[in-house]
Amino acid sequence: MEISQYADEWGPELVYEVYDAKTGLRAVTVIDNTARGPGKGGIRITPTVDVTEVWRLARTMTWKNAIADLPFGGAKSGIIADVKGMSIEKKKQMIEAFAKALRPICPKLYIAGPDMNTGEKEMQWFAEANGKWNSATGKPENVCYKPGERCGIPHEFGSTGYGVAIAAQIALEHRRMHLNGASIAIEGFGNVGTFAMKYLVEKGAKIVAVSDSKGTIYNENGLDYETLMKVKQESGSVTSYQHGKILPGSDVFELPVDILIPAAVPDVITKENVNNVKAKIIVEGGNIPMHDDIEKILHQRGVLVVPDFVANAGGVISSYAEYRGHHPTKMFELVEKKISKNTKLVLKKSKKENVAPREAALAIAQERIKKAVEKKEEKAGNK
């Protein structure tokens, strides 16, 4: 599909395609909207990522940064490659080639960050090859611009998962339900899923199911976080957990739980399985886990869906904290404050206007972007 068919008043502003013959790098960066600031969005590496997926994710980042009230616009990058079996050196070469190719637009128009198959080390490689400290966030904690200040805040700290846990708590309160004892199923046990489980368990929730690429482990009495983490690290899959039923991976979406947290790949709730969803609340930990029309179907059935760009904004709030040179403690305070405030704002507007939460969130985000555009125009007019 041609990216031009998606163009509207919000963007995209720039599609930047990269090919490097030496490393075999094939990649794309989509800068969707820079009204509020430089485009902010992570780099994902998968064999199937394409310009359409990257644009959809970039648009999500436009809304996410606006709803989090950050001075960033929306952008995203994708590298088309299979990391399975890829050497660290090969991956490093690709990241470095990409960082060098983006020098004309980064960090003025684009600031990178971690996403699928990239983490703190990749962000360090990117920043060093790009030549600008602030060209990427999510760098290792010990990577500092100057000794003792402006250090990295890696997403491995769990900022996104922490924000998802906060959003889940607010959603339950909105429905006059209690987090303590609430049953929760989590799809995906990567950075977002593991930390969402950790923080939710600490708050008293009962995680009854977790899935990964090998399947789902389910125990209606709850799963033990520490044991599950150990099993995952040692065996490579949650399905090796001894105390529960092993189910197909797709079954995680159809379990009778209070909250379902899709926290992995896009488009997992579809027309084929939406009618089998039994959760009362869905908190979107991963980006674009379903299309908007699927969310509308769930809303009409009375399922409360907290949109991705509201629930999983912890990562980009962490990025902002790093960008400003804050300490990780300050980062967690910002994530809790902003996720809590904006989730309440969105759910209150949704209920008051009788619209789906995504519609309410979009209206808030778009209004903030319009004000930023007006401010820019007014400033330009006064020059």
What gap in Å lies between CA 54 and CA 75, rounded to an integer? 8
Instruction: Check if the beta carbon of residue 184 is closer than 8 Å to that of residue 205.
Output: yes
Instruction: Give the other-Cβ count within 10 Å of 229's Cβ.
Output: 15
Catalytic residues: 76
Instruction: Check if the beta carbon of residue 323 is closer than 8 Å to that of residue 137.
Output: yes
Going by C-alpha positions, the residue among 272, 283, 131 that lies closest to residue 207 is 283
Q: Which residue stretches of the chain are H helix?
A: 51-67, 88-101, 120-130, 159-174, 191-202, 225-235, 292-300, 308-311, 314-323, 328-353, 357-381
Instruction: Check if the beta carbon of residue 157 is closer than 8 Å to that of residue 318.
Output: yes
- 3-class state of residue 291 by DSSP: coil
For residue 164 the two structure tokens come to 């998802």
Q: What are phi and psi of 161, to 5 degrees?
A: -60, -35
Query: Within 13 Å, how many C-alpha atoms sit on residue 75's CB side?
Result: 33
